[in-house]
Chains A and B, each alone.
Chain A
Amino acid sequence: MSDATPTQSSQRSRGNGSEAAAQGTTAAKSMTAQPPNTADAEVLARAQAGDHHAFAHLYALHKRRIYSLCLRMVGNVAEAEDLTQEAFLQLHRKIATFRGDSAFSTWLHRLAINVVLMQLRKKGLSLISLDEAMEPSPEEGPSRSFGAPDLTLTGTIDRLVLERAIADLPAGYRLIFILHDVEGFEHNEIATMLDCSIGNSKSQLHKARLKLRDALRAQNRQEARP
């Protein structure tokens, strides 16, 4: 496998099918995510027209964010790899249907999120659709949270405890929390991805944070016991 640069790969991208496929492999492995621009739009259009090299380029642009999202949602490397694979295979099947109503990355994330939620359902979690993901049962919601100053978490968050607390969140809360607080998406983007209102996204994020705080404070109390 050669170490062609992205520029080299792009310059060679109009070769025959098998050559393009081989170069696509190189391109997919050698490029990193960049902000959308005219060149990206051109790549997208070519991928929609069936250009394999262009599809490989899209994979290279988006693989890190999609894989990271999958990994953060399921917490298992092998499973995250399978989900990433499935998300991009679905992308390959559906890319021609993308009409540009939202940003491509938002559309791709929505597709990947559906793959992840489907997997969570297969694993037996009571989660059937995005609607259900967005509506955890009342007993799963956070308690109204008041913080006595002596129990403040500032500076005392244990990495493992936080990791466990996030993993234990209902999937809908976990998804919103990861998309906003970890991935850095805006509420309007999340609302598009999850087909919900911006207010709902804000509200679910707040509940997720409160639930995490409940879990972390409970841990702190446990450790404070003699």
Chain B
Amino acid sequence: MTVNLSKMSCIEFQDRMAEYIGSGEDLSEHPHLKDCADCRALLADLKTIAEAARQLFPSVEPPDEVWEHIESAIKRGA
């Protein structure tokens, strides 16, 4: 079944949004977004949230004590 992308409702578009975003496709050129300010705002928000989350959680090293505990437990046969 083919889908008329430009005539998609917001519900239809949002139902497919996970698939679109997961595919890595550039959604900015999607026909539905050209006519729909609400879904454009939604997409912008989701991108903003993902970017903010990446900045929120920097990758960190565990303290050396963690390895020391692991090593002790291994030696004890835990």
Contacts and interface: CB of A to CB of B under 8 A. Distances in A.
A216 B52 CA distance: 12
Contact of B74 (A89, A147, A203): A89
A112 interface: no
B24 to A, nearest CB: 9
Interface of B: 10-11, 14, 17-19, 21-22, 37-39, 41-42, 44-46, 48-50, 52-54, 56-57, 59-71, 73-75, 78
Interface residues of A, number: 58
A71 interface: yes
Q: Is the interface of A mostly helix, strand, loop or mixed?
A: helix
11 contacts: A63-B66, A64-B61, A67-B66, A85-B70, A145-B42, A146-B42, A147-B42, A152-B41, A153-B44, A203-B18, A206-B17
Given A56-B67, A181-B50, A145 B14 contact: yes
B35 to A, nearest CB: 14
Interface in A18-56: 21, 24-25, 28-29, 52, 55-56
Contact of A149 (B14, B22, B41, B48): B41
A14 interface: no
Interface in A174-226: 177-178, 181-182, 187, 198-199, 201-203, 205-207, 209-210, 212-213, 216-217
Given A63-B62, A206-B18, A207-B18, 9 more contacts: A59-B67, A64-B60, A81-B62, A85-B73, A177-B53, A181-B54, A182-B56, A205-B18, A216-B45
B56 A162 contact: yes
A46 to B, nearest CB: 15
Contacts of B49: 153, 157, 162, 181, 209, 212-213, 216
Interface in A128-157: 144-149, 151-155, 157
Given A152-B41, A202-B18, A144 B11 contact: yes
Nearest to A52: B74
Given A29-B67, A205-B18, A205-B22, A152 B62 contact: no
B73 A67 contact: no
A67 B54 contact: no
B42 A67 contact: no
A28 B65 CA distance: 11
A29 B14 CA distance: 46
A28 B60 CA distance: 15
